[in-house]
Chains A and B, each alone.
Chain A
């Protein structure tokens, strides 16, 4: 069976090279489905906070996602717990909620209820308080605070400023 020995050998050599090529092709396939550089680069949004009205929800767009920006009234701020206040973005004397406006359950956009000062997600009934903390399941975690930086009264989304890093260190941002 010397002949078959040579055929087996050729089969194994072919199989080895094919496996190598297959791995290369898989790597290329994985990389070609990654977000494109142009998609990644369009990632910074500037928002002027000085024009914000209290208790009126502003929705900005950042990386295709809605960003909730809510200027809290002094009454809301006074009633807040420590946990809630830790998530506030403070500019001058004003306290803001800044978060990605997507329910942490399956990514719907919760609606703001100005009379109740909370958020209600219509999809599966989840609720969040005025600081974006989940209060009624199914959402398992608070709405996410995006990387931000404060310059005067301008909020830059997509860049990690000192205030954002502080929140991160304090464990407010998981």
Chain B
């Protein structure tokens, strides 16, 4: 039996048994953040808070939702929206957060790309972040099935059909994924399971990993400067706070982080109360009908760019391009051949590459929403081709980059 002294406070009692003071010191008070950062460094906390909002609102929706093809639509659009007090609030919070979380993820990603926060020890931060992006995509897609409206059904049909892998015609695999010849009860049930249990579990584990990958390399800064964190921490702890290039995560950095979160939440609740409709497709207010395809099938805005890479090509090349778009971001740390960790603005051709990629993805997003006709098809084809060319060109344009 280990020796325990009598504790004089609850904190001390817990500290004896859980070492909470050591934990707090290691995880928060002596976890160092560079001073040379801006509001874009708060996006991680904004994402964590948004994920929390999704979990809480999801729990309330789960109290009334029915994962049954005959009941699902009414359990959302009648029970939750009209009978349950404040049911509308949970639904609108959940829908808006699911949409806005992708906006923040994209800002978070492009911040990382702009400042080169994926190299020289930060590769795993990038890769675990991309795994989170893929998991959030699966979570969003499986959640989109649950109201069992027309868009749920037909998006489910189209996306599961992708698994037949074009000319390979793996229809058995598609039927296995659905548990039926078309999306039906088995399909709704298993996507419900994925949405409320398996994917959230995976996401929580990945968030833990993502934080873990930050610990040793620390977060990047606005100049990509290599900081001796131990040295700077010593300065800070010895009282030379002005001289030190770092601050504590808690409470210094977190107080600023939470300020950005607060500004974000004003924007978020403005959307929830006055503009929730942007996250609700009107077509999904018609119940699922397997015998009637909606005139246009398009995904939510955050999938439009990759959808538009699939669409303008013939079937097999389209699938290959789509697969390429899904995995290529993972390889960014290895395709960028330059050792420079610096903002794109100081990296010559890379700056051009960055802005062209960003604009190209916005163009793809806009084209993905428009019907595939005439000039739109042509622009879509050009933008999709440009996306692929950009990624193939990346190693060549970064290879001979001058040291910054």
Q: Which of A's residues lie within 8 Å of B, judged by CB?
A: 30, 33-36, 39, 59, 61, 63-66, 105-109, 122-125, 137-140
Contacts and interface: CB of A to CB of B under 8 A. Distances in A.
A66 B184 CA distance: 14
Nearest to B318: A138
A107 B159 CA distance: 10
A160 to B, nearest CB: 17
8 contacts: A35-B178, A39-B186, A63-B182, A65-B290, A106-B157, A123-B158, A124-B311, A140-B315
Contacts of A59: 291
Contacts of A107: 157-158, 161
A108 B159 CA distance: 11
A138 B167 CA distance: 12
A108 B293 contact: yes
Contacts of A65: 181-182, 290
Contacts of B184: 39, 64
Contacts, number: 78
Contact of B315 (A36, A64, A105, A109): A105
Contacts of A139: 315
Nearest to B298: A123
Q: Which of A61, A106, A122 has the most CB of B within 10 A?
A: A106
Majority DSSP secondary structure for residues of A touching B: loop
A124 B372 contact: yes
A84 to B, nearest CB: 22
Contacts of B167: 140
Interface string B165-176: 011000000011
Contact of B186 (A35, A105, A122, A140): A35
B179 A34 contact: yes
Contacts of B295: 122
Given A105-B315, A138-B314, A64 B297 contact: no
B403 interface: no
A109 B161 contact: no
A122 B291 CA distance: 14
Which 5 A-B pairs rank lowest in CB-CB distance, beginning with the nearest?
A64-B182, A109-B293, A63-B181, A108-B293, A107-B161
Interface string B279-296: 000000000001111111
